[in-house]
Amino acid sequence: MSALALQRPVNLAARIADVDWPGVETELDARGCALLPGLLTPQDCAAAAALYDHPAGFRSRVVMSRHGFGRGEYQYFAYPLPDLVQTLRAAAYPRLAPIANRWNQR
């Protein structure tokens, strides 16, 4: 069974709530990463990718080569965050923070 329930809710916050969080924690402890297949729909992914081309939605841009970190760039979202990002943050953070805190104590 995947990390998500077989019957996926349409609402992103509900999909996050339906994740097998104990399974995710086990994967994180064993591998340092965990996959959540299907958490974001193809439409969610396309919408997120489309945000990158709108500079007004970002507070800063980092070009990695300027800092000697190779190629590529990334941007920091401005506030208010896009709905998708805010929902991911608000719904996943309470599940992930205890895991991160436990790792930090180790």
Task: State pTM to two decimals.
Answer: 0.75
106 Cβ contact partners less than 8 Å away, ≥ 6 residues apart = none
Query: For 69-104, how does the pLDDT look when each residue is reduced to its tens digit (9 = 90+)?
Result: 888 999 999 999 999 999 999 999 999 999 999 999
Q: Is the peptide bond prior to 98 cis by the omega test (within 30 degrees of 0)?
A: no
Query: For 19-74, how does the pLDDT look when each residue is reduced to its tens digit (9 = 90+)?
Result: 999 999 999 999 999 999 989 999 999 999 999 999 999 999 998 888 888 889 99
Neighbouring C-beta atoms of residue 92, cutoff 10 Å: 19
DSSP string spanning 30-93? HHS----TTSS-HHHHHHHHHHTT-GGGEEEEEEGGGGTS-S-EEEEEPSSPPHHHHHHHHHHH
